[in-house]
């Protein structure tokens, strides 16, 4: 069976093919031009998806040694995401499904991330805990099977990646902020400043807006403006901030491990590229003797391989969507409770 996956929810256009359970292509085109605007511009994102989606499909077919008529199943991200951007991939997928007369599966983007560990040779074992951390989401989930997921907690304000992006902007670094904060943090001393970690009533929820505000206050109280912060001071601020985020995320994972007898833990989403966070997860997995699955970088950020995989599993469990499927007002994950 040849499964086509299409992802266009934000600023990555991606087309992937899973052929007889083997990933044969996962092409990702990142829209780097948003950096000049300090964030993703939705209309420009949609236009860029439109420009690249057909060449990407052709390249993915070529890489997989397949013709379009060989595709048996078509899966596309159907939300959450930017509505105009989503519509490009989704409408394209529906058109292919109609013209090829092959089934179409609408995939929830978060469900794609949740199961992305299965794209690795070493796969998660059910039940497992997964932390999905990206520019738009921060979710801690207990995954029992391909059809049963419990959401333990989420952010009550900013997503983890969003906090990286906002603090990056505050320090005069560019967008996306995560890699730049990480780079600065490497050269800084995380012990000089202590930023607070939110203590919420809900045991597994996260909050990053207070942390972001304390970084802002620290800058306002100690410097005239951004241009007067030395590179060394920026590094120390970045380092202390990153330490607080990693601690906030890791604390909740440890708490969940004490309550839920899982076999594995997984970490995914764009922020999972962060080395300090990966190292913290490695320590936790050792401490609690759990299998750790962190997908490779090409599967952590937005990619169509995870969409093809999730769509394929949904199809195996009997899901096929009608072509009048709408991504608005939003796709609720099928199996969340």
Residues that bind ligand KG4 (CB under 6 A): 10, 134-136, 161-162, 164-165, 176-179, 182, 269-271, 273-274, 301-302
Smallest distance, Zn ion to C-beta of residue 78, A: 13
135 binding partner (options ligand KG4, Zn ion, none; Cβ < 5 to 8 Å by kind): ligand KG4
Q: Which of 212, 205, 280 is nearest to 250 (CA)?
A: 280
Smallest distance, Zn ion to C-beta of residue 45, A: 13
* Closer residue to Zn ion in complex, CB, 133/193: 133
236 binding partner (options ligand KG4, Zn ion, none; Cβ < 5 to 8 Å by kind): none
* Closer residue to ligand KG4 in complex, CB, 118/299: 299
* Closer residue to ligand KG4 in complex, CB, 127/179: 179
**Radius of gyration (C-alpha) of the chain in whole angstroms:** 20
Q: Which of 113, 106, 138, 71 is nearest to 293 (CA)?
A: 113
* Closer residue to ligand KG4 in complex, CB, 29/134: 134
268 binds Zn ion (CB under 5 A): no
158 binds Zn ion (CB under 5 A): no
In DSSP terms, 145 is beta-bridged to none
The single residue listed with the structure tokens 């599966």 is 105
* Closer residue to ligand KG4 in complex, CB, 4/82: 82
Q: Is residue 146 within 8 Å of residue 309, measured between CB atoms?
A: no
- Tell me how far apart the alpha carbons of residues 60 and 246 are, in angstroms, rounded to a whole number: 36
327 binding partner (options Zn ion, ligand KG4, none; Cβ < 5 to 8 Å by kind): none
Which stretches of the chain are DSSP H helices?
42-63, 83-100, 109-114, 160-170, 177-186, 209-222, 231-259, 275-287, 297-300, 304-316
* Closer residue to Zn ion in complex, CB, 170/300: 300
- Tell me how far apart the alpha carbons of residues 272 and 132 are, in angstroms, rounded to a whole number: 8
13 binds Zn ion (CB under 5 A): no
- Tell me how far apart the alpha carbons of residues 214 and 196 are, in angstroms, rounded to a whole number: 8
134 binds Zn ion (CB under 5 A): yes
**Mask 94-133, x = binds Zn ion (CB under 5 A)?**
----------------------------------------
Q: Which of 265, 302, 300, 261 is nearest to 280 (CA)?
A: 265
Smallest distance, ligand KG4 to C-beta of residue 71, A: 26
Q: What share of the chain is helix, strand, coil (3-state, %, to 5)?
A: 45, 20, 35
- Interacting residues with Zn ion (CB under 5 A): 134, 302
């Amino acid at each position: 069976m040849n499964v086509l996956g299409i992802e266009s929810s934000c600023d990555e256009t991606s087309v992937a093919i899973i052929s007889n359970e083997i990933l044969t292509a996962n092409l990702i085109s990142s829209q780097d031009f948003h950096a000049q605007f300090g964030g993703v511009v939705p209309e420009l994102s949609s236009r860029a998806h439109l420009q690249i989606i057909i060449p990407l499909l052709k390249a993915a077919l070529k890489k997989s040694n397949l013709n379009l008529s060989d595709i048996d199943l078509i899966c596309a991200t159907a939300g959450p995401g930017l509505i105009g951007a989503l519509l490009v991939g989704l409408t394209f997928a529906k058109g292919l499904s109609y013209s090829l007369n092959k089934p179409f599966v609408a995939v929830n983007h978060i469900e794609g991330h949740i199961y992305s560990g299965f794209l690795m040779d070493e796969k998660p074992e059910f039940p497992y805990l997964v932390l999905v951390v990206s520019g738009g989401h921060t979710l801690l989930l207990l995954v029992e099977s391909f059809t049963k997921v419990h959401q333990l907690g989420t952010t009550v304000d900013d997503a983890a990646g969003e906090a990286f992006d906002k603090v990056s902007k505050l320090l005069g670094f560019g967008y996306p902020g995560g890699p730049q904060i990480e780079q600065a943090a490497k050269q800084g001393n995380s012990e000089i400043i202590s930023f607070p970690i939110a203590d919420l009533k809900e045991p597994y929820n996260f909050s990053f807006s207070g942390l972001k505000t304390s970084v802002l206050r620290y800058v306002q109280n100690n410097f005239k403006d951004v241009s007067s912060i030395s590179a060394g001071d920026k590094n120390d601020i970045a380092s202390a901030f990153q330490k607080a985020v990693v601690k906030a995320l890791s604390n909740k994972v440890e708490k969940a491990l004490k309550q839920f007898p899982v076999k594995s833990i997984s970490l995914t989403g764009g922020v999972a590229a962060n080395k300090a966070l990966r190292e913290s997860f490695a320590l936790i997995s050792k401490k609690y003797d759990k299998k750790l699955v962190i997908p490779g970088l090409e599967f952590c950020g937005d990619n169509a391989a995870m969409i093809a995989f999730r769509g394929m599993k949904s199809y195996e469990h009997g899901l096929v969507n009608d072509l009048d499927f709408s991504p608005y007002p939003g796709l609720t994950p099928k199996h969340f409770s």
